[in-house]
Amino acid sequence: MKLFYSPGACSLAPHIVIREAALDVALDKITFGKERTTEDGRDFFSINPQGSVPALELDDGEVLTENAALLQFLAAQAPEKGLAPQEGMSRWRLLETLNFIATELHKGFSPLFHKPSPEARAALVERLQNRLALLQSKLGNKRYLLGDAFTIADAYAFVVLRWAHAFQIDLSGLPELKRYFQRLTARPAVQQALTEEGLPSP
């Protein structure tokens, strides 16, 4: 299998899961520009017509996209690691949380990457602070979003919290979320993925 990624993009979440689960998956960095090329010399649009990362190429040539689906696929390759709970209400809470991160946080951050006007930025940040406060409510007094154990939802949450840090979004009113971010950052798999993508530890 091969994961197509871009450093620090949302593809960092499956990269972390690959390291958490010790999966045998190769990495291929996409060069973003007018044309998008893979390290192995292919036109990335021929792999994912949407041109976005993450994309996972399976050994039979099938390509899986959409982070929420791809994260679950990776977790299913190592069920013994418990990265995607399948029992009882936890299963549905996992899906709820993945969708919340994808649609309310990930896509809430996306416009910040395109240099919005100061007014547009202020409105985006206000909305994101509300959604980050909701993420803290979901976390409650648990160690990870679903409970005591790290799951794929935490890998995805790490990516958006790293963006919050990079865009200097004030989290001073969200101390539990800040501690949670530090807890995630300290995980060896997170550190390994950051290093492999050439990123500093936040």
Ligand X SMILES: N[C@@H](CCC(=O)N[C@@H](CS)C(=O)NCC(=O)O)C(=O)O
Give 133-170 as a DSSP string. HHHHHHHTT-SBTTBSS--HHHHHHHHHHHHHHHTT--
- Under rule CB under 6 A, how many of the chain's residues touch ligand X? 9
Instruction: Using the minimum distance from each CB to ligand X, give the nearer residue, 101 or 139.
Output: 101
Instruction: Using the minimum distance from each CB to ligand X, give the nearer residue, 52 or 72.
Output: 52
Q: 2-5 and 55-57 as β-strands: parallel, antiparallel, unpaired? A: antiparallel
Instruction: Using the minimum distance from each CB to ligand X, give the nearer residue, 102 or 153.
Output: 102
Residue 13 makes contact with ligand X by CB under 6 A: no
For 61, residues 6+ apart whose C-beta sits below 8 A from its C-beta are none
Burial of 63 from C-beta contacts in 10 A (0-12 / 13-18 / 19+): middle
Instruction: Using the minimum distance from each CB to ligand X, give the nearer residue, 10 or 194.
Output: 10
Q: 2-5 and 26-29 as β-strands: parallel, antiparallel, unpaired? A: parallel
Residue 7 makes contact with ligand X by CB under 6 A: no
Give, as ranges, the residues between 23 and 82 that touch ligand X (CB under 6 A): 51-54, 66-67
Give, as ranges, the residues between 157 and 196 that touch ligand X (CB under 6 A): none
For 139, residues 6+ apart whose C-beta sits below 8 A from its C-beta are 145, 176, 177, 180
Give, as ranges, the residues between 102 and 131 that touch ligand X (CB under 6 A): 102
Q: 63-65 and 55-57 as β-strands: parallel, antiparallel, unpaired? A: antiparallel
Residue 135 makes contact with ligand X by CB under 6 A: no
To the nearest whole angstrom, how small is the minimum distance from the Cβ of residue 12 to ligand X? 9
Instruction: Using the minimum distance from each CB to ligand X, give the nearer residue, 146 or 160.
Output: 160
- Give the residues lining the site for ligand X (CB under 6 A): 9-10, 51-54, 66-67, 102
